[in-house]
Amino acid sequence: MALRIISRHLLQKPAAWRYSTAAFPSSPQAKCQEYERPLMKTTVPGPKSQALKRELSAIQHSDAVKFFCDFSASRGNYLVDADGNRMIDLLTQISSIPLGYNHPALIEILQDPENMSTFVNRPALGILPPLDIVRLISESLLLVAPRGLRQVQTMACGACSNENAFKAVFFWYRNKQRGGSASHEDLESSMLNQMPGSPDLSILSFNGGFHGRTLGCLSCTHSKAIHKVDVPAFDWPIAPFPHLRYPLDEFTAENAHEESRCLEQVEEQIEAYSRRGRPVAGIVVEPIQAEGGDNHASPDFFRRLRGLATKHGCALICDEVQTGCGATGRFWAHEYWNLDSPPDVVTFSKKMLTGGFFFKDELRPDASYRIFNTWMGDPTKVLLLHAVLRVIREKHLLEGTQRAGVVLLRGLTQLQEQYSNLLSEARGQGTFCAVTVRDQKTCDNLLTSCLNKGVVLSGCGERSIRFRPALIFTEQHANIFLEIFDSVLAECK
């Protein structure tokens, strides 16, 4: 049944796309010659990667670097490193490569002479946009706009998308409070970081959430201490995110109780901060807590959270930076919730190639320069997104993601049963999957062993392995991975 769940935007009927066929001209049928399997020549990192890391370390901190990539040799689902090791990539540059490596549709965009100006001249979009920017946005972002959200603002990355979404919410909330735009007193006091121009407002976030590493976003990020330590934080409320048992449909009663407990805490925090004179202007939440451990909640949880936001006059900000653009099998993960009223803001980046946020009309800024920076995104990324969306539609990649996700999750569940001393809590939507490992040391060892057998993966949360393949990941690729993972688990002591 899961295989038939299809995206409102991309797969139900052409009319849902709100496009003319001229908006997506057919591309030449060039094919990416993908490799058949991983091929390892050295352990990872190999000697060339190690030498490059020493050179990089001389000029910047590089302890987080795993290995250096040969992107020109990489193809489709396979990433090649500096030492010629060919690995199947289930991380995809932290969930940000939509069509795999060197996809011909994207190469074609760069090779088209008509696109030269877009790549050579990066405009300050807020004041001097290119003449074709309305067409570019209309034929890409607006085609996949979440239901009920007609406004969109491009940005450079996920963190600045969330940061500016918070600002838009604060502007909206203050305009509601005072019944109009900023007064002279507001303007003057803001220059001194004082009220009323610098209001004491807050954003409610959840334990385990990750929303970026800029200052405002860090106050809403609660996944790892290393992200936050030594950085001043706002006194903003933090609510518990449900800690559920998997699979969700086998533990409905106890999971519902846990979700109710968390929602009660949400409302208590909203009311408590209002009494303290620091009202909650917005609630930010991920459909699946990605960095925090791939933590899920039910559609009912999010529907009730939407109700609480409405009840208390807060904006609901849905952070789809990692879940957006089809990884869960629907274009937007929040489509699974079947909300009566959509989120007020939906932020995006990663697989969308451009950052930004969609928002309701009433959150539109009331003056110039309120949401502003030099670039406010990059038209080249919107141009590439245009091609990505065409391929998603023409190749039915959301349906493919659903099929591949069924194979991947079924395989993880079977391995969990076979290696119950090592794995538990296999979970996921589409190919946006994860499995919990018995302890952090074992998790790290499994990731290292997988890498040296030709699989690029990453951990998340305290001791989980997450899977973030490209949208071109198929059942065949899932089976290649599962075969290798089985051998790694068999060797684990």
Domains defined along the chain, listed by start: 2-17+37-103+396-491 (3.90.1150.10), 123-377 (3.40.640.10)
The confidence score (pLDDT) of residue 429 equals 97
> Does the active-site annotation cover 210?
yes
The confidence score (pLDDT) of residue 33 equals 84
The confidence score (pLDDT) of residue 12 equals 37
Which residue is catalytic, options 166, 206, 210, 358?
A: 210
Give the pLDDT of the chain (493 residues) as one tens digit per residue: 333 323 333 333 333 332 222 333 333 434 458 999 999 999 999 999 999 999 999 999 999 999 999 999 999 999 999 999 999 999 999 999 999 999 999 999 999 999 999 999 999 999 999 999 999 999 999 999 999 999 999 999 999 999 999 999 999 999 999 999 899 999 999 999 999 999 999 999 999 999 999 999 999 999 999 999 999 999 999 999 999 999 999 999 999 999 999 999 999 999 999 999 999 999 999 999 999 999 999 999 999 999 999 999 999 999 999 999 999 999 999 999 999 999 999 999 999 999 999 999 999 999 999 999 999 999 999 999 999 999 999 999 999 999 999 999 999 999 999 999 999 999 999 999 999 999 999 999 999 999 999 999 999 999 999 999 999 999 999 999 999 999 999 999 7
Which residue is catalytic, options 374, 439, 441, 444?
A: 374
> Does the active-site annotation cover 453?
no
> Does the active-site annotation cover 350?
yes
Which residue is catalytic, options 81, 319, 344, 378?
A: 319
The 3-state secondary structure of the chain, one letter per residue? CHHHCCCCCCCCCHHHHCCCHHHCCCCCCCCCCCCCCCECCCCCCCHHHHHHHHHHHCCCCCCCCCCCECHHHCEECEEEECCCCEEEECCHHHHCCCCCECCHHHHHHHHCHHHHHHHHCCCCCCCCCCCCHHHHHHCCHHHHCCCCCCEEEEECCHHHHHHHHHHHHHHHHHHHHHCCCCCHHHHHHHCCCCCCCCCCCEEEEECCCCCCCCHHHHCCCCCCHHHCCCCCCCCCCEECCCCCCCCHHHCHHHHHHHHHHHHHHHHHHHHHHHHCCCCEEEEEECCCECCCCCECCCHHHHHHHHHHHHHCCCEEEEECCCCCCCCCCCCCHHHHHCCCCCCCEEEECHHHCCEEEEECHHHCCCCCCCCCCCCCCCHHHHHHHHHHHHHHHHCCHHHHHHHHHHHHHHHHHHHHHHCCCCEEEEEEECCEEEEEECCHHHHHHHHHHHHHCCEECEEECCCEEEECCCCCCCHHHHHHHHHHHHHHHHHCC
Which residue is catalytic, options 53, 350, 351, 360?
A: 350
Q: Say what the pTM is.
A: 0.93
